[in-house]
Chains A and B, each alone.
Chain A
Amino acid sequence: MHSDAFDRYHHGHSLIHDLDPRVKVVVTVAFILSNALLPDAAWLAFLLAWAFILIANALSGLGLGFTFRRSFIALPFALAAITALFSIPGAPVMSFRFLMQDFTITDAGLLRFVSIVIRSWLSVQMAILLVAVTEFPKIVHALNHLRVPTILTVIISFLYRYLFVLTDEVMRLLRAREARSAGAAGKRGGGSVMWRARVVGNMAGQLFLRSYERSDRVYNAMLARGYKGELMTIHPHRFQAGDLLIGLLALVCLVLMQVAGRLP
């Protein structure tokens, strides 16, 4: 497998694709912030937030269900919130016995659990949409514009550039291990856990040294092209009036959602 599978960008031309990356990053973060601000059981607001995502999906030309289909990634983490079902005092909704233990789900607990899961599920969809409609280097540019320290955005750029090169190396190492880990018939191959851990540790050590040496060569390549210890970046993005308008419109929608979430 080639690590191109890492790419999350879906090429296209749409209103959302062509939006300034700064607007997209700000709106995404604001949307997630807005979700966190919504009180539990703000059903109307949750519904509006979902509508917001559906509209964004539609405008991006990726199809209404695009982010929905990819949104289950954070679901396993919902386990962490399961205890909320039982531990928040309220009227019992349902009781059952499991592992010789009585469980009582309370109404307040249920509301809290469902609210947490919905908030998470809405937030992750927005993040999915952001990388689907914005090439990653542009997101990094946006971060740079939004005053994230240059050293961090530069490290992120390098990480993005070399994650493809290094994960290919990992794939080769793992494939080489597989090719050599034949087991005798009827016996489980692979040695003890300690031995297997040492093999992986050696791989990590080897990968580290290769990466270290590569960083030397990259440094030379930077020096050869005039790098003097200070990194300069160039940003071909120009803020258009339309970008500002759409950004403001989105933020107004978020404010309306907050109002809706607080209606009695």
Chain B
Amino acid sequence: MTDVVSVRDLHFSYPDGHAALRGVSFSLCAGDKVALVGPNGAGKSTLMLQLNGILIGRGEIAIGDMRLTRDNLPVIRGMVGLVFQNPDDQLFSPTVFEDVAFGPLHMGLPEAEVFKRVDAALESVRMTSYRDRLSHHLSVGEKKRIAIATVLSMNPSVLILDEPSAGLDPRARRRLINLLRELPITMLVSTHDMKLVEELFPRTIVMDEGLIVADGVTKEILEDETFLNAHGLEKP
């Protein structure tokens, strides 16, 4: 069986010369829920933008059995659902419906299918009644859930989330954790929320200075306090 995501020896430098990724390799199997942790500036966000082809570096990325190239970007972007940290950037349309419809619509799906996708996506984040709401009326927690729906409507094969629990109050955070647990989809989640990591993800990837410094069973990684401290992390 092929991996859902496989990344081999990925390098990337920003135009200002800063080397954000210095040889990153890992893979995700179908159904994996993996945490991506590391201090700010470790390269987590850069890596996520690579997986969707918004930034393109040196190395190899394959989604399913399709290698990411400039030519198949539209297809890849439909397969990799990328949810940004700030829901105000992710939700750029006036209404919830328009935002959730944006992905399927720009994939060129027929209207009837777009409507179906929107309803299914809202259903899976339990926000069906919010279909016609205005985005700016939502709370942060609601915005985060809708943001997830905006990529679920594309039926992606992997979900990539940047800091999903940041800025949420305890109740909204709890709801989001339950949602992530229920969603039957491969996901890679970047976070500083070590409690979330401990609770939800069997596997963790630790990044620092553009490299993967650990990739293994969450429980074992979180046990090693010296290792965590060395990479600016804390035991939950």
Complex CA–CA separation, A224 to B16 (angstroms): 24
Complex CA–CA separation, A162 to B154 (angstroms): 24
Task: Tell me whether B124 is interfacial, beta carbon within 8 Å.
Answer: no
Given contacts A223-B77, A225-B106, A226-B77, contact A136 B54 (CB under 8 A): no
Instruction: Collect the chain B residues with CB atoms within 8 Å of residue A232's CB.
Output: 105-106
Closest chain A residue to B49 by CB distance? A220
Instruction: Collect the chain A residues with CB atoms within 8 Å of residue B94's CB.
Output: 136-137, 140, 157, 160-161
Q: Tell me if B93 and A157 are in contact (CB < 8 A).
A: yes
Nearest chain A CB to B221's CB is how many angstroms away?
A: 29
Task: Tell me whether A175 is interfacial, beta carbon within 8 Å.
Answer: no
Closest chain A residue to B111 by CB distance? A234
Complex CA–CA separation, A137 to B137 (angstroms): 13
Task: Tell me whether A222 is interfacial, beta carbon within 8 Å.
Answer: yes
Q: Tell me if A218 and B106 are in contact (CB < 8 A).
A: no
Q: Tell me if A164 and B97 are in contact (CB < 8 A).
A: no
Nearest chain A CB to B116's CB is how many angstroms away?
A: 13
Give the number of chain A interface residues (Cβ < 8 Å). 28
| Interfacial residues of chain B within 97-116, with CB under 8 A of chain A in the complex | 97-98, 101-103, 105-107, 111, 114
Q: Tell me if B92 and A221 are in contact (CB < 8 A).
A: yes
Given contacts A137-B134, A165-B88, A220-B84, contact A227 B97 (CB under 8 A): no
Task: Tell me whether A107 is interfacial, beta carbon within 8 Å.
Answer: no
Nearest chain B CB to A107's CB is how many angstroms away?
A: 50
Q: Tell me if B114 and A234 are in contact (CB < 8 A).
A: yes
Closest chain B residue to A6 by CB distance? B136
Q: Tell me if B135 and A161 are in contact (CB < 8 A).
A: yes
Instruction: Collect the chain B residues with CB atoms within 8 Å of residue A233's CB.
Output: 98, 105
Task: Tell me whether B216 is interfacial, beta carbon within 8 Å.
Answer: no
Q: Tell me if A226 and B154 are in contact (CB < 8 A).
A: yes
Task: Tell me whether A214 is interfacial, beta carbon within 8 Å.
Answer: yes
Instruction: Collect the chain A residues with CB atoms within 8 Å of residue B49's CB.
Output: 220
Nearest chain A CB to B99's CB is how many angstroms away?
A: 9
Task: Tell me whether A191 is interfacial, beta carbon within 8 Å.
Answer: no
Complex CA–CA separation, A226 to B109 (angstroms): 11
Give the number of chain B interface residues (Cβ < 8 Å). 35
Q: Tell me if B84 and A137 are in contact (CB < 8 A).
A: no
Task: Tell me whether B220 is interfacial, beta carbon within 8 Å.
Answer: no
Given contacts A157-B93, A161-B94, A234-B98, contact A224 B54 (CB under 8 A): yes
Closest chain A residue to B136 by CB distance? A164
Instruction: Collect the chain A residues with CB atoms within 8 Å of residue B90's CB.
Output: 221
Task: Tell me whether B89 is interfacial, beta carbon within 8 Å.
Answer: yes
Q: Tell me if B103 and A226 are in contact (CB < 8 A).
A: yes
Question: B39-52: contact bitstring with A at CB < 8 Å (1 yes, 0 no)?
Answer: 00000000001001
Task: Tell me whether A102 is interfacial, beta carbon within 8 Å.
Answer: no
Question: A203-225: contact bitstring with B at CB < 8 Å (1 yes, 0 no)?
Answer: 00000000000100110111111
| Interfacial residues of chain A within 160-179, with CB under 8 A of chain B in the complex | 160-162, 164-165
Task: Tell me whether B95 is interfacial, beta carbon within 8 Å.
Answer: yes
Task: Tell me whether B150 is interfacial, beta carbon within 8 Å.
Answer: yes
Closest chain B residue to A157 by CB distance? B94
Closest chain B residue to A213 by CB distance? B89
12 additional A-B residue pairs with CB within 8 Å, beyond A224-B77, A226-B107: A4-B136, A135-B134, A137-B94, A157-B98, A161-B93, A165-B88, A217-B84, A222-B102, A225-B106, A225-B154, A226-B102, A226-B106
A interface with B by C-beta (< 8 Å): 4, 135-137, 140, 157-158, 160-162, 164-165, 214, 217-218, 220-228, 232-234, 236
**The 5 nearest A-B residue pairs measured at CB:** A226-B106, A225-B103, A137-B94, A164-B136, A217-B89
* 8 chain-A/chain-B pairs, Cβ below 8 angstroms: A137-B98, A158-B92, A161-B94, A164-B136, A165-B88, A225-B154, A226-B77, A226-B106
